[in-house]
Amino acid sequence: MKYQGRADFAHGSPPLAAVVLVNLGTPDQPDAGAVRRYLAEFLADPRVIEIPRLLWWLILHGIVLRLRPRRSAQAYRQVWQERGSPLLFHTQDLAQATQSRLQQSGQSRIEVHVAMRYGNPGMRDVLEKLMRRNLRRLLVLPLYPQYSGTTTGAVFDALADNLKTWRWVPELGFISDYYARPGYTALLAQRVRQHRLDHGTAAHLLFSFHGIPERYLLAGDPYHCQCLATARRTAEHLQLNADQWSVSFQSRVGRERWLTPYTDQELKRLPTIGVKSLDVICPAFAVDCLETLEEIAIAGRELFLAAGGEQLRYIPALNAGDDHAQWLASLIADASAHWPEWSAARLTEIDSEIAASKSRQRLAQVNFPGFKPK
C-alpha cells in the first residue's frame, strides 16, 4: 500500500487542529439522477443494509434504484430551498455557529468543518484537505445523538478507511453518541417549551425517531434503548405524565419488521383514542432534513388529519440555534481539553509564560510552533 502524505511536507510546519461534524448526506439536486447517485452510495453500505452482498446488489440495482429515485426526488422537491438541501445548509450553519462559539470561548485555533457520510462534501475530500494542511489533532463528531451501527458505525468505517492510508495519522477523538451528555435533553425540552409558548400546547407529544430493523436491536445495537432514554429524560424535564407523551419510529423500508410502533400507524391511531391535537419532535435528527420536513411536517400531518386529527405541529430540530451551538462548543472543548497546543488552559499558560519571559519570541515558538506574538 502506498501511504499518503504531503509532497511538499516541511518538518516544523504549523500544526492544525480540527473538528469535523458529520451528517448522513443528501443528493446534490432534487432530481432523479442525483437521487439515484446518492442512494446508490448510501444503500450500498453494508452497515445500512445487512443482507448478503450478491443478493442485495441484485435487489438494489434491479429494483430499488429503478423505482425509488423518482419518488424520492419528488419528496426532496417539496423541501428543497433556494439555498439547496435543508440538511446540508442547516449543518453548515451549525458548524459556523459552533466555530463562532469556540472563538468566543478562547478556542479560536480549532477549526470546525462539515462532511457528509454519503454525497458531498464527502469525508474523503474533507479529510484529505485537512491532511494537506498538516492536521495533527482531529475530533470527529457524527451528528447522531443516539448511536446506531447504521449511522455512527458507518461514519467510523469511512474514517478508518481514510486514515489507514495516511503516512502520519493525527491524534483522533470520536464521539459515538451524546444523548446522555449533561444538558442535552434539557435543550430538547426547552425547544418544546418555546414552541408551545409560541404556538400553543397540543394534547399529546410524540417523539418520532428514525427506525432500524428490529433484528439489529436483537443483535446488540443500542439505538432503541438510547432513543427511549432520550424521550423519557426530555419528558421528565417537561414534567409530562405518562399519557401525555409517547415514542414511535419512522422511515421504515422493505417488508421485514422494524422498531415499533411505526410513526405512520401512530399518526392514524392517535385520533381514534381522542388525541385531536398533536406536537411531534424528532430527536434523532440534529438538523431538519427530508425525514422531518417532508415525512412528518407534510405527509405526517396529512395522515393525522385524514384519520380525524385536527392539528399536528412539527417542532423543528435544534438546527443552528444559539443554544445548540453553545452546547456543541462546550462538548468539543471538553473533548479537546487534553490537546496540549490547543486547550484553553494551555493557551492561558502559554500567554502567562510569554508575558513573564524576557525571551518572548523564543518561548512562544517553543510552546506553540508557528505562534506569532502580537
- Region for 308 from its dihedrals, namely left if φ exceeds 0, alpha if ψ lies in -120 to 50, beta otherwise: left
Q: Is the pLDDT of residue 318 over 60?
A: yes
The single residue listed with the C-alpha cell 420536513 is 293
pLDDT in tens, 195-237: 999 999 999 999 999 999 999 999 999 999 999 999 999 999 9
Cell 502559554, residue?
A: 350
Q: Are 53 and 78 contained in the same domain?
A: yes
pLDDT > 90: what percent of the chain? 84
pLDDT confidence of residue 374: 45
46 with 191, same domain?
Answer: no
Whether 352 is covered by a domain: the verdict is no
Q: What is the pLDDT of residue 259?
A: 98
Q: Does the structure show a pLDDT above 90 at 90?
A: yes
Q: What angle do CA 9, 124, 2 make, to 5 degrees?
A: 55
- The reported pLDDT for the residue numbered 86 is 98
CA distance 320 to 322: 6
- pTM for this entry: 0.90
Phi, psi angle pair for 20, to nearest 5°? -115, 115
pLDDT at res. 8 = 78
Provide mean pLDDT across the span 352-362: 55
**How does pLDDT run across 228-280, given as a tens digit for each residue?**
999 999 999 999 999 999 999 999 988 899 999 999 999 999 999 999 999 99
Where residue 364 falls among pLDDT bands split at 50, 70, 90? low
Identify residue 181 by its one-letter amino acid code. Answer: R
26 and 134 co-located in one domain:
yes
Same domain, 67 and 161: yes
**pLDDT tens digits, one per residue of 275-307:** 999 999 999 999 999 999 999 999 999 999 999
Higher pLDDT, 12 or 350: 12
Cell of residue 328, nine digits:
456543541
Cα–chain-centroid distance for residue 135? 22
Q: Does residue 161 sit within a domain? A: yes
- Categorize the per-residue pLDDT at 46 as very low, low, confident or very high, splitting at 50, 70 and 90: very high
Residue 295 lies in a domain: yes
Q: In angstroms, rounded to a whole number, what is the distance separating the alpha carbons of residues 77 and 343?
A: 44
Q: Quick check: is 154 in a domain?
A: yes
Write down which residue in 315, 349, 367 finishes a domain.
Answer: 315
pLDDT-derived band of residue 367, with 50, 70 and 90 as boundaries?
low
172 and 74 share one domain = yes
SS3 68: helix
The pLDDT of residue 9 is 79
pLDDT at 362: 56
**Quick one: 104 and 89 in the same domain?**
yes
- Looking at the fold, whether 102 and 134 belong to one and the same domain comes out as yes
168 with 219, same domain: the answer is no
215: CB partners within 8 A, 6+ apart: 50, 256, 257
**Secondary structure element (H or E) that encloses residue 33, with its range:** helix 32-43
C-alpha span between 280 and 83 (Å, rounded): 25
Q: Tell me: pLDDT of 122 over 70.
A: yes
| Domain encompassing residue 71 | 16-178+322-335
Same domain, 43 and 138: yes
Residue 343 in domain: no
166 and 269 fall within a common domain: no
Contacts of 326 (CB under 8 A, 6+ apart): 101
pLDDT at position 324 over 70: yes
| CATH code for position 107 | 3.40.50.1400
Residues 309 and 326 both lie in one domain: no
- Please check whether residues 262 and 218 belong to one and the same domain: yes
**pLDDT of 184:** 98
- 10 Å Cβ neighbour count for 88? 22
Look over the chain and give the mean of its residue pLDDT values, rounded to a whole number: 92
Q: In the chain, pLDDT over 70 holds for what percent of residues?
A: 91
Number of domains in the chain: 2
In a domain, 357, yes or no: no
The answer to the question of residue 196 being in a domain is: yes
Identify whether 129 is part of a domain. yes
